[in-house]
Amino acid sequence: MEEYGYSQLYIKRLRQQINAILSNAEISSLDSYGDIYRYYTERTSSKQGLRVRLTFLGIIERFVVRGEFPDGRTRQKVKERGHYQYLSQEHRCIIDTYCEYEEQRGTKKARTIYGESSNAASFLYELQCAGISTPESITPKDVIAVFLNDDGTLRRSCSYKKIIAAVLKANVQTDSELFGRLMAYLPDLRENRKNIQYLTDEEVAAIKRVLAESESGLSLRDKAIGILALCYGLRCCDIAKLRIDEVDLDSDTIGIRQQKTTAPLELPLMALVGNAIYDYVVAERPESDCEFVFLSKNRPYGRLAEGSIGNIATKIMKAARIRQNTGDRKGFHIFRHRLATDLLGKGVAQPVISKITGHTSPDSLEAYLSSDLVHLKECALSIEQFPIRREVFTNA
């Protein structure tokens, strides 16, 4: 750290925290960095002191667990172990069986399995807090209480129920009678689809303006990322993992392997996109041997995190002075939505749109059909046969 120019105060605080961890190494209840942080919260009254400890605990954890050097950020998140650690052995067995089952099937990604098992652990933990420590003692009333409030309103979504059902279904192989009964206890929830917000033509014009202006307050990196998202509708994870060798200047293409689907995707390198990436790499990108295009602005200049990509979308919206109300969608997925609906409106065939957006299932485009105003208007029924006076449609 001294070699890479970190400040002496930064190094001193990090050394102090390492020594503090080592001095408490004999405490048996401290099995993770999350445990250590909770241990500090019980003994530290100063919020500022607790924040500093959280920062440097996160730094240490990232280095030990993932081999990542400090990036200079003042806030770090200590990874919690979730509810699994608090479950009874019987409930843990349900989670373990599900994980083993899905890993053997090989149809779900590791992050999906982790997410679904975490949701199931929270479900079982809530039952356990109500005094239910074994699956055999679960009743229909107990399950309903997790999903519904006393007044009948929803506490949990339909998607949450599907996750719990998938975990229970994986356990049917161990006890079909028990887990078949538990699956029957899950309430019959109705899946509600919300209207998806989309970018208007005026909003797109405002975004294009700030991405082109030199005085917009956006960095060259942020502009390049915004142009990539707007022109190609790429997912945040794919932008974050874009490598230098995937931008082929000889063939004028960008070729990636999508993180979500693992399918390859090749796109033509537009001049606008190529120029934006070139400007960033030449004028602003830190000197680094890192293989990825977009780097963090802090040492040791590693790959930009996916979460930071989402923050850049918010910055672009703010610079364009759009979508600043509570509840407005501000992420880059709305750029992806815009691209799909724009292509649909222009009559581009759905298989072609699926290829451009990197969808492997044709059903994935259904969510965008509700914004295809051009073709939706063609579905409108004529009202010529209804006895409505012409004055209704004219201004007074």
Residue recorded with tokens 């519904």: 148
The tokens describing 117, both together, are 């098992």
- Lowest mean pLDDT, pick from 58-72, 90-104, 126-140, 257-271: 58-72
Does the pLDDT of residue 132 top 70, yes or no? Answer: yes
H or E element that contains 374: helix 373-376
Least confident of 63-72, 99-108, 142-151, 168-177: 63-72
Please tell me the distance from the alpha carbon of residue 223 to that of residue 212, in angstroms, as a whole number. Answer: 8
Note the pLDDT tens digit of each residue in 332-354. Answer: 888 888 887 787 777 777 777 77
d(CA 236, CA 228): 10
Most confident of 148-157, 255-264, 284-293, 325-334: 284-293
- The sign of the torsion formed by the CA atoms of 254, 257, 258, 263 equals positive
Say how many C-beta atoms besides its own lie within 10 A of residue 30's C-beta.
16
Domain residue limits, the chain: 8-66, 84-185, 201-375
Domain 201-375 CATH assignment equals 1.10.443.10? yes
- pLDDT surpasses 60 at 74: no
Confidence at residue 318, expressed as pLDDT on a 0 to 100 scale? 94
How far is C-alpha 372 from the chain's CA centre?
A: 25
Average pLDDT over residues 78-86: 65
Q: Taking the CB of residue 378, how many other CB atoms lie within 10 A of it? A: 7
Place of tokens 């050394």: 15
Q: Provide the greatest CA pair distance for the chain.
A: 86
Burial 199-226 (b: 16+ CB within 10 A, else e): beeebbebbeebbeeeebebebbbbbbb
Two tokens, residue 163: 């996750």
Q: Poorest-confidence range of 227-231, 307-311, 384-388, 390-394? A: 390-394
Q: Provide the β-strand partners of residue 265.
A: 256
Angle formed at CA 371 by CA 365 and CA 372, multiple of 5 degrees: 80
Structural contact between residues 79 and 310, judged by C-beta atoms closer than 8 angstroms: no
What's the number of CA atoms in the CB half-sphere (13 Å) around residue 257? Answer: 2
For 355, counting Cβ atoms within 10 Å of its Cβ (0-12 exposed, 13-18 middle, 19+ buried), the class is middle
* Euclidean distance between CA atoms 225 and 234, whole angstroms: 10
